[in-house]
Structure 1
Amino acid sequence: MNQETKSGQIFDLPTLRRLYTFVGPYKKQFFGLIAIILVSSVLAPVLPLMIKYTIDGPIAIGDYNELALMMAIMIGVLIVQGLVSFVNTYLSGWLGQYIIRDIRITLYEKIINLRLRFFDQTPIGRLVTRTISDVETLSNVFSDGMAAIAGDILQLVLIIAVMFYTDWKLSLISLSMIPLMLFSTYVFKEKIKDAFNEVRAAVSNLNSFVQEHITGMNIVQIFGSEETEYEKFEKINKEHRDSNIRSILYYSIYFPVADVIAAAGTGLVVWYGSKQILAQDVTFGTVTAFVMFIGLFFRPIRQLADRFNTLQMGIVSTDRILKLLDSNDYTENNGTYEPQTVRGKVEFKNVWFAYNEDEYVLKDINFHMNEGETIAFVGATGAGKSSVINLLSRFYDINKGEILIDNVDIHEYELTALRRHIGVVLQDVFLFSDTIENNITLGNPAITHDQIVEAAKLVGVHEFIERLPGGYQYNVMERGSTLSVGQRQLISFVRAMVHDPKITVLDEATSSVDSETEELIQHAIETLMQGRTAIVIAHRLSTIQKADKIIVLDKGEIKEQGTHEELLERNGFYANLYRMQYKEMV
């Protein structure tokens, strides 16, 4: 069964046990909530008993002093019940919000440490659902879950005990409608469970669809697919609407039915009780108390159906969240080597790599580069160029072989320390919806504004940034949409510069800009590479002719390597690529 639509077991003890481990930091509040629920359950039958005593005692004999005393006591009980209800509602909500905050933080921390392979295979919308909707569902587990269910059951037991203690015949009459109520509650529980499953699946589908299509809106509009995508969304949205209407229908049927059953029970008590009063077998106060008992008794039964579904949905959400938390698809960070700086010597030894098992995209890759050298990778799309830099930064782990930095295997480096020494400038620059300054520092408090300005001047973008409204405080909006491709790339150079990596990686950094911007970027590249080891991947062979070594990749294998002049003399792969580009330029 689809994970999005399957139902959970109400008493899935292993899942509940793990869920309640998040209660640990709030044990005092949790046990306080249980105590409040117990007090609320105990107080439930008190008021009917007091009314019975008042009707049969002070009112019957006309004792106004005792009547006033009883009224004062009942007002006090009502005030206490109100305070208990307030504390119960507030504390359960408070506890739920703090716990889901902790769960969401734990979940997000897990997500940001998962390897890129996981995100290649998992829709982003599903992760959004896990982090937002599923976690939000859990708040109800703590406010309307096990503790509340236990309180309702205890209240039922206490009320039944008091009822039978008061009058067993009236108790049997009062409870005669219980089988019908339990049957209708069971039917409702099963129907609403299915409806909730459909709603949850529809929400997940909506999240995935909207996230994916908003991200790819330029493709939708370029190919004129607005109408087609609108129709797809309309269909998904209709499924979401229909699922919610079904759940509304079941609620609109169940609660009136439950009210009718409760009213029937009340009618039976009044009918039988009236006969008993006339026969002087019971008092008027007893019948009045039983009418109140019925209201108190049937209300928890109606709530239990809702609470069981809440708990069931919470179990399903918890199960999905725990599966994500238990995922071991993350980059192992067992290394302990944390050098303050590296020289920048890089070596690949017999490296094999596959995104999918046995479908190798890199095959027996061997090369080395000394400190301060520049190596360029060229080749057709899919040759494996980007895979090389992904492996160097350990975004993916190799299947076989070794990758060394300064003669130390990269797996021996502490992961954050390793990536701190590698600066990457990608073709598709990602900027967050934030200020230019924050996009450059990425929240690193050690980077000062003066350092940012100095780096921007070296790259040649300081004047451009200063012309923007607010300068370095200009908000670039989501994905840097208010800036051009070239401007985003130049800012990414400043970002790499201020983090001062010893190894720089430039992936297709000039493939999507005009010639004027390319000149600026070429200046930025030269500035960034100065005194650093550099790996350059480019389609424009004119940008890498000065590289110390050029490596030609084809279908995951190194076909040639050497300088620009040496490779031209060989008249092989590189020479063919060069001649093809030269013809295109002519």
Structure 2
Amino acid sequence: MTVGKRLFLVAVHFKKTILLALLMLSIAVAAELTGPFVAKKMIDTHIMGIELPWYETSEQPYAVSYQGKWYTREDHLSETDQRGKEVRILQVGRFYVFVDRPVPLDGERVLGDAELTIVKGNERAVYPAQKLSSQEVFAFFRPETMGLLVLAALYGGLLVIASVFHYGQKFLLQKSANLVIKKLRVDVFAHVQRLPVTYFDHLPAGKIVARVTNDTEAIREMFANVLASFFTSGIYLIGIFIALFLLDVRLALVSLIILPIMLVWILFYRRFATRFNHVIRTRISDINGMINESIQGMPIIQAFRRQKETLREFDELNDDLFAYQNKMLRLNATVSFNMVMLLRNVAFILFIWYFGGASLGVGTLFSLGVLYAFVDYLNRLFQPITQIMNQLANFEQARVAAHRLFELMDEPGIDVEKGSIGRYQGKVSFQNVSFAYLQDQYVLKNISFEASPGETVALVGHTGSGKSSIINLLFRFYEINRGEIQIDGQNILQLPKQFVRQHMAIVLQDPFLFTGTIASNVSLNDPSISRERVEKALQDVGADLLLRTLPKGLDEPVIEKGSTLSAGQRQLISFARALAFDPAILVLDEATASIDTETEGIIQQALEVLKKGRTTFMIAHRLSTIKNADQILVLDRGEIVERGRHDDLMELCGKYYHMYQLQQGSSAVAPAG
């Protein structure tokens, strides 16, 4: 499905608002484009109409008195009205003259002493003429005053109507654009939370943030301004060409030449703009990723004095972005304003060359009113073309941004299942489980063990031995390659991932706290966890002693990552979080590794509370913290090489014994025998 079609499907959710806006836009354009027709009527009928034949009549509403006689213009007489002698009022330069007879010939006019000479080609005619004073001219125009006032009021009314409906359509189009982007942002953010953990292993957080923020903002700009301009310009173009065909078919056909020229120019522009914008959006994403990484790693950058190198890497990305933005700038400067001005100037040159000389005389190819209206419409014609060209750059940027955004949304996610599963007992069984992050590079090989409900299982081994991989498979962050994992005798692959994790909790070595309060970090704003339950969880893990010094207690604000709290306080809050959710299976991923000795004592006491009635998995480098584990699994290169309780493993004098002896130093005592 194309990007345009997918954006259209998103916009369809708000079709009523958009269609109402387009209806208001159509009314506004129709009102606005009716103006030149009104002006044409004013010029041809009420101003230039003075040169129509006049007839000597009796006094009546539209009659004009001149030298003791009454004259009425032809278009104000009905077929039944009495008509006397025909006379003419003609304009010669800045003056008007009265001719007391018909004037069949029209051409170049020359005013002499009491006579008017008209020359057209080889024909020449002379008529007696009387130059009219200003008061006499105004008298002949007086019958048209009311018509002019009515048409002027109509013109003004049309402008008011157009203004009101333009305001309405702009408001509704902007509103619908914001609604579309609001929905799109929610959809993208919801999908990001459905993505498997493996996706985030290969894409920096800053790049994902750029897609959710920068790319959606570019799409918002497209809906709010670009598409609004395209809709407006499209309706204007349709309305203008309809008006031109109603005005004069020949003029409209000549004007149609502009459309294929514009189409070819747009295709040329898009060919280069798409390529440039892809690079620009990618570089912006790279820069966001690098900024995010640099901020998170600022202590390391400053401690190792890597500021210059980091700045150099940033400069390289920024220079590349700058180069492509300049290419885009040159392309926009060439295509947008310059292109429209070129088309406009060529159109006016052709108009003056072809129509100007032939149409200056009254009664020739076109009337003056038609020429005025055509020039007006020709000016209006280039306004929407200018808008389209000026918005092409934003349109291409938004199209590329939408392509990147839909790429993210096309990543397969995990469907959120409705319902829940009853709290399981917590019996965990790994049966010949093998797993590889990369194909055929196994980090776990035929892992088999059982953990009974309420049992504590410790996983130990050197870095890379496979301890964390076992936990990742248990949570189904990754899927096993071979073997089977069971909880209470049921294969976890037969359960939705949310059900598997529903009664599990994890405490990490580096606990993650969200912006909010201590209470919200314990409950994670779960409505099923009451404030009393939060307080009890904090008390049970001993956190109330360390948090007592905080001014607002449970309502103490927590900023990003909980950086205002000590490592011990953060860890205790994460322990309380795990306890508040009452898991059947608890995972402690080196949860005491970064804790001082005093706090570790508090946590060790809290662990006894946490482990009651729960199957607990502990990953620990400090072997002194797992001496009381019911089962210790010693891993080496993805295999279980030893298993048993602490005393049993010490008696083996194997890998676990040597690891423990190395950690304890001289205080380690070798087993007898």
Please, what TM-score do these two structures have when normalized by structure 1? 0.90
User: Which residue matches 2:67?
Assistant: none
Task: Give CA deviations for 1:383-424 in whole Å, capped at 9, x if unaligned.
Answer: 010111111111112112221122222233443333231111
Change beyond 3 A, Cα 1:158–1:572: same
For 1:519 and 1:221, the matched residues in 2 are separated by 34
Q: 3-state DSSP class of the match of 2:286?
A: helix
Identical positions, percent = 34
User: Which residue matches 1:22?
Assistant: 10
CA contact (8 A) 1:173 1:268 kept: no
For 2:508 and 2:359, the matched residues in 1 are separated by 88
User: Which residue matches 2:664?
Assistant: 582
- Residue 359 of structure 1, CA deviation: 1.4
- Residue 512 of structure 1, CA deviation: 1.7
For 1:554 and 1:516, the matched residues in 2 are separated by 32
- Residue 563 of structure 1, CA deviation: 0.7
Partner residue of 1:383 out of 465, 489, 495? 465
Q: Which amino acid aligns with 2:19?
A: F
Change beyond 3 A, Cα 1:175–1:395: closer
CA contact (8 A) 1:93 1:139 kept: no
Q: Which amino acid aligns with 1:77?
A: L
- Residue 289 of structure 1, CA deviation: 1.5
User: Which residue matches 1:70?
Assistant: 151
Please, what TM-score do these two structures have when normalized by structure 2? 0.79
Partner residue of 1:52 out of 3, 23, 40? 40
Q: Which amino acid aligns with 2:360?
A: L
CA contact (8 A) 1:192 1:309 kept: yes
Q: Which amino acid aligns with 2:175?
A: W
Q: Which amino acid aligns with 1:538?
A: A
Compare 25-34 and 380-389 and name the one that shifted more: 25-34
Compare 262-271 and 488-497 and name the one that shifted more: 262-271
Partner residue of 2:452 out of 361, 370, 379? 370
For 2:8 and 2:262, the matched residues in 1 are separated by 31
CA contact (8 A) 2:270 2:396 kept: no
Change beyond 3 A, Cα 1:196–1:71: farther
Structure 1 gap ranges (5+): 1-12
User: Which residue matches 2:168?
Assistant: 87
Q: 3-state DSSP class of the match of 2:601?
A: helix
Partner residue of 1:564 out of 632, 646, 670? 646
> Given the alignment of the two structures, is residue 98 of structure 1 paired with residue 179 of structure 2, yes or no?
yes
Partner residue of 1:295 out of 352, 361, 379? 379
Alignment of 1:319-468 (within 5 A): 319-328=403-412, 330-331=413-414, 338-339=421-422, 341-468=423-550
Alignment of 1:526-545 (within 5 A): 526-545=608-627
- Residue 273 of structure 1, CA deviation: 5.2
- Residue 464 of structure 1, CA deviation: 2.3
Change beyond 3 A, Cα 1:19–1:177: closer
Change beyond 3 A, Cα 1:571–1:348: same
Q: 3-state DSSP class of the match of 2:557?
A: coil
Task: Give CA deviations for 1:297-320 in whole Å, capped at 9, x if unaligned.
Answer: 122222333455544444433333
User: Which residue matches 2:299?
Assistant: 218
User: Which residue matches 2:313?
Assistant: 232
For 1:410 and 1:189, the matched residues in 2 are separated by 50
Q: Which amino acid aligns with 1:396?
A: Y
Partner residue of 1:286 out of 365, 370, 387? 370
Q: Which has the higher helix share?
A: 1
For 2:270 and 2:382, the matched residues in 1 are separated by 16
> Given the alignment of the two structures, is residue 506 of structure 1 paired with residue 573 of structure 2, yes or no?
no
Q: 3-state DSSP class of the match of 2:404?
A: helix
Partner residue of 2:20 out of 4, 19, 32? 32
Q: Which amino acid aligns with 2:43?
A: I
CA contact (8 A) 1:351 1:365 kept: yes
Q: Which amino acid aligns with 1:218?
A: P
Q: 3-state DSSP class of the match of 1:506?
A: strand
User: Which residue matches 2:207?
Assistant: 126
Q: Which amino acid aligns with 2:590?
A: E
Compare 494-503 and 227-236 and name the one that shifted more: 227-236
- Residue 335 of structure 1, CA deviation: 10
Task: Give CA deviations for 1:136-195 in whole Å, capped at 9, x if unaligned.
Answer: 222344345667546534533442343244345655776677777666655555554444
> What root-mean-square deviation, in Å, do the aligned CA atoms of Structure 1 and Structure 2 show?
2.8
CA contact (8 A) 1:384 1:554 kept: yes
Compare 48-57 and 385-394 and name the one that shifted more: 48-57
CA contact (8 A) 1:374 1:535 kept: yes
For 2:420 and 2:557, the matched residues in 1 are separated by 38
> Given the alignment of the two structures, is residue 136 of structure 1 paired with residue 222 of structure 2, yes or no?
no
Partner residue of 2:599 out of 499, 517, 527? 517
For 2:418 and 2:553, the matched residues in 1 are separated by 41
For 1:241 and 1:148, the matched residues in 2 are separated by 28
Partner residue of 1:305 out of 389, 402, 410? 389
For 1:306 and 1:196, the matched residues in 2 are separated by 16
Q: Which amino acid aligns with 1:422?
A: M
CA contact (8 A) 1:338 1:413 kept: no
CA contact (8 A) 1:174 1:269 kept: no
For 1:203 and 1:30, the matched residues in 2 are separated by 32
For 2:330 and 2:4, the matched residues in 1 are separated by 30
Compare 437-446 and 81-90 and name the one that shifted more: 81-90
Task: Give CA deviations for 1:419-456 in whole Å, capped at 9, x if unaligned.
Answer: 23111111011111221111111111221222211111
Q: Which amino acid aligns with 1:201?
A: T
Higher-Rg member (1/2): 2
Q: Which amino acid aligns with 1:35?
A: L
For 2:416 and 2:483, the matched residues in 1 are separated by 18
For 2:481 and 2:24, the matched residues in 1 are separated by 57
User: Which residue matches 2:402?
Assistant: 318
Q: 3-state DSSP class of the match of 2:558?
A: coil
- Residue 28 of structure 1, CA deviation: 1.4
Change beyond 3 A, Cα 1:274–1:337: closer
Partner residue of 1:484 out of 550, 557, 566? 566
CA contact (8 A) 1:337 1:414 kept: no
Change beyond 3 A, Cα 1:274–1:487: same
Q: Which amino acid aligns with 2:431?
A: K
- Residue 540 of structure 1, CA deviation: 0.7
CA contact (8 A) 1:379 1:385 kept: yes
Structure 2 gap ranges (5+): 51-140, 669-673
User: Which residue matches 2:86?
Assistant: none
Larger RCO, structure (CA 8 Å, separation 6 or more): 1
Change beyond 3 A, Cα 1:475–1:158: same
For 1:256 and 1:449, the matched residues in 2 are separated by 66
For 1:331 and 1:361, the matched residues in 2 are separated by 24
Change beyond 3 A, Cα 1:110–1:31: same
For 2:226 and 2:314, the matched residues in 1 are separated by 34
Change beyond 3 A, Cα 1:414–1:337: farther
Task: Give CA deviations for 1:346-383 in whole Å, capped at 9, x if unaligned.
Answer: 11111111112221111111111111111111000000
User: Which residue matches 2:284?
Assistant: 203
For 1:148 and 1:227, the matched residues in 2 are separated by 45
CA contact (8 A) 1:424 1:496 kept: yes
CA contact (8 A) 1:213 1:220 kept: yes
CA contact (8 A) 1:188 1:305 kept: no
Change beyond 3 A, Cα 1:177–1:480: same
Q: 3-state DSSP class of the match of 2:445?
A: strand
